[in-house]
Amino acid sequence: MYKIAVDHKLEIIFYSHSGRIPRREIGDAWAELLLMDEFVKLKYNLLSDYRNSEFDFAVDDTDMVWEYFYSIREILKGKKEAVLTDSPLTTAISSLFENDAYNKIGFDVKVFTTEKSAIKWLEKV
């Protein structure tokens, strides 16, 4: 299950999951994000909270995520995503995107363990 909330003052979209996260559910959440003016037009940044959850797919399945990100690269270019994690698998999968996302499509992704540090990074221009 996931939730999406918007903080207009901080210009951040908070996206969180709980429990097991199937690949399909991530796709559903991203489809919802792409319907939001704050994400698409207003260029709000994203804070994805995967604490207390675990990806229910393998590292090898990330190729599909790359294909999807590449297909929406014009929307992602110049955006930042802070990813909150607290499990080794979720951290490993999220870390795969840190360098490559920026180098390949200009999408700045960083992994954090605290919400405070994630928000601080998202607020930097």
Give the start-to-end residue ranges of the domains of the chain.
2-123
The pLDDT tens digits of the residues spanning 85-116 come to 998 888 887 887 787 888 889 999 999 999 99
| Residue 104 pLDDT | 87
Tokens of 104: 């390949």
| Residue 41 pLDDT | 94
String of DSSP letters for 89-112: HHHHHHHHHHHHHHHHHS-EEEEE
| Residue 59 pLDDT | 66
| Residue 125 pLDDT | 64
Name the amino acid, one letter, at 48. Answer: S
pLDDT band at 58; cut points 50, 70, 90:
low
State the average pLDDT over residues 39-48.
95
65 pLDDT more than 80:
no
Name the amino acid, one letter, at 95. Answer: S
48 pLDDT more than 90:
yes
70 pLDDT more than 80:
yes
Give backbone dihedrals phi and psi of 51, rounded to 5 degrees, phi first: -65, 150
Pairing of strands 108-112, 53-55: unpaired
| Residue 96 pLDDT | 79
Q: In this structure, which topology does domain 2-123 adopt according to CATH?
A: Transcription Regulator spoIIAA (3.30.750)
| Residue 122 pLDDT | 96
User: Average pLDDT, whole number, for the chain?
Assistant: 89
| Residue 109 pLDDT | 93
Residue whose C-alpha is closest to residue 18's, from 40, 50, 48: 50
Tokens of 21: 């996260």
